[in-house]
């Protein structure tokens, strides 16, 4: 699969549309085969996703540190709205997938949720520290008030691992139950982050 990805990237740079489409069509069956495996079978891929999420969080935080004006409550609102949007998409779209890929897709959604709530938020917090302490960036007052969000994310990561990614409760064994739980989590988490942002705005 990596060979096809390299070919697609090189051909895209050269503007070769038809070869790109051909390689994409060859790549789709391999991606579907990968999705039908459980996260237990490809643990290294899960670790890579976690590392990529943390790196993305660091990059976003450094980019935020370079902004001239970015009120903390607005940044928290953006995070909350993003969580809400993810939850709505999960509830309305994932349940419509064909049964063949629904269960592995939900398992991978669990992996992505753990990476997003745990590693991306932790990476963002680390990136704020790097930006302010080493690069001379501006944390916009967010660094001192983002720790509760990170703590909430880490607790959520452990919760989602045991309920969605590798469910341990009987009533969450079915794909439909897991995706409803995951979608509901993101909606509630988004609302809580937005509520925290509102109180932060009042306090400051």
Residue 19: predicted pLDDT: 57
- Mean pLDDT over the full length of the chain: 75
Residue 5 has pLDDT above 50, yes or no: no
pLDDT digits (tens, 9 = 90+) for 174-203: 777 888 888 888 999 999 989 988 888 887
In degrees, to the nearest 5, what angle opens at C-alpha 80 toward C-alphas 70 and 51? 85
pLDDT digits (tens, 9 = 90+) for 103-132: 667 767 777 888 888 888 888 888 888 888
Assess whether 168 and 89 both reside in one domain: yes
Assess whether 20 and 116 both reside in one domain: no
Residue 12 has pLDDT above 70, yes or no: no
Containing structural domain, residue 12:
1-35
Assess whether 87 and 48 both reside in one domain: yes
Selection from 19-33, 62-76, 137-151, 184-198 with the highest mean pLDDT: 184-198
**Number of structural domains found in the chain:** 2
Question: Minimal CA–CA distance to 183: which of 117, 96, 90, 106?
Answer: 90
Assess whether 11 and 104 both reside in one domain: no
Assess whether 108 and 13 both reside in one domain: no
Assess whether 19 and 50 both reside in one domain: no
- Return d(Cα 198, Cα 118) in angstroms, integer: 23
Q: Considering the entire predicted model, what is its pTM?
A: 0.69
Residue 129: predicted pLDDT: 87
- Token reading at 128: 């704020």
Assess whether 156 and 172 both reside in one domain: yes
Question: Minimal CA–CA distance to 116: which of 147, 83, 92?
Answer: 83
- Return d(Cα 62, Cα 94) in angstroms, integer: 33
Residue 143 has pLDDT above 50, yes or no: yes
Confidence of residue 22 (pLDDT cuts 50, 70, 90): low
């Amino acid at each position: 699969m990596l060979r096809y990805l390299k070919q697609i990237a090189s051909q895209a740079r050269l503007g070769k549309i038809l070869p790109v489409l051909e390689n994409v069509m060859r790549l789709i069956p391999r991606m579907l085969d990968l999705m039908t495996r459980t996260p237990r079978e490809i643990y290294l891929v899960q670790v890579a996703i976690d590392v990529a999420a943390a790196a993305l969080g660091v990059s976003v935080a450094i980019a935020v540190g370079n902004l001239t004006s970015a009120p903390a409550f607005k940044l928290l609102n953006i995070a909350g709205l993003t969580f809400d949007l993810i939850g709505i998409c999960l509830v309305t779209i994932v349940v419509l997938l064909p049964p063949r890929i629904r269960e592995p897709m939900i398992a991978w959604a669990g992996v992505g949720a753990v990476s997003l709530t745990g590693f991306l938020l932790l990476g963002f917090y680390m990136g704020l520290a790097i930006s302010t302490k080493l690069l001379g960036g501006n944390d916009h007052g967010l660094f001192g008030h983002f720790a509760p969000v990170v703590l909430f994310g880490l607790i959520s990561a452990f919760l989602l691992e045991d309920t969605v990614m590798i469910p341990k409760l009987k009533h969450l064994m079915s794909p439909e139950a897991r995706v409803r739980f995951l979608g509901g989590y993101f909606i509630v988490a988004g609302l809580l982050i937005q509520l925290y942002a509102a109180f932060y705005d009042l306090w400051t």
